[in-house]
Amino acid sequence: MFHRSNRRVVFLSMFVTLAVTLACQALLPLPDSTKDMPIEAPSALPQTGFKDAPAIPIDSGIEGVQTFPDKSVYHNHVDSLPEPEGTVPPPFGPNFPYWQNCGIYDQPVELGNALHSMEHGAVWLTYRPNLDVGQVKALQDLVRGHRHVLMSPYPSQTDDVVLTAWGVQLVIKSVPDDRIPKFIAYYELGPQNPEPGASCDGAIRVPLPYNVS
């Protein structure tokens, strides 16, 4: 019969042996269980979820309107944009993560923010910087109160007014022109809008006061 002290020695020896065995197993390399797993194919859609789309029909009845095809890459958010070419705003393109709050501005706004506003269904009314003050005021009176209209001078613009919505544009050589209110009425939150229900406020910049004179 084992003495009580001998039992303790045996149990302690068994415990040490088991602990050493488990520790050694833990140090062994694990099998590469992912080696033969199939590689998941990338999604067919871009991260934005938009697909390339043809130009919308020109069915507004407004003379001179142009529409342009949409591409998924135009909806990407970027931190910077190259200097735009030409004398009119582009009607689409990669844009900044934050939109320009809609309203009236008497200074140029960032293109990347304005593009995002148009992606939310806004009409961007731009005018040449040296347009007559009285004509600028008449335009302000025309657009004031529209929640999805952005108005600002455009530095390189030579035509009196350019109306731009997402993938849609109308160049106005001289003002006044009755096509301006018609364009706003049709394309503010119109059929070109890629993000129905999106807001045009609550983001960045502060437009002129509503009751500006």
Q: Which helix H or strand E contains 161, and what residues bound it? A: strand 161-165
Q: Is the pLDDT of residue 119 over 60?
A: yes
C-alpha gyration radius of the chain: 32
Q: How many CA atoms lie within 13 A of 60 on its CB side?
A: 24
Domains of the chain (ranges plus CATH)?
Answer: 66-187 (3.40.30)
206 CB-side CA count, 13 A: 2
Q: Could you tell me which residues are beta bridge partners of residue 67?
A: 168
- Tokens of residue 109, six digits: 């706004």
Which alpha helices (H) appear in 97-173, and where do they start and end? 111-119, 133-143
User: Which of the pair, 114 or 37, is modelled with greater confidence?
Assistant: 114
Strands 168-172 and 66-67: antiparallel
**Is pLDDT of 30 > 50?**
no
d(CA 159, CA 133): 15
So what's the pLDDT on residue 44? 34
Cβ within 8 Å of residue 88, ≥6 positions away: 126, 154, 157, 159, 162, 164, 169, 171
Average pLDDT for 127-149: 97
Q: Which two tokens stand for residue 80?
A: 């910077």
pLDDT digits (tens, 9 = 90+) for 155-210: 999 999 999 999 999 999 999 999 999 999 999 999 999 999 999 999 999 999 86
- Dihedral of the alpha carbons of 111, 113, 115, 117, in degrees to the nearest 10: -140
Give the per-residue pLDDT at 194.
93
The percent of residues in the chain predicted with pLDDT above 90, rounded, is 66
Q: Is the pLDDT of residue 39 over 50?
A: no
SS3 per residue for 22-73: HHHHHHCCCCCCCCCCCCCCCCCCCCCCCCCECCCCCCCCCCCCEECCECHH
| Cα 158 from chain centre | 28
Please give the pLDDT value at position 82.
Answer: 86
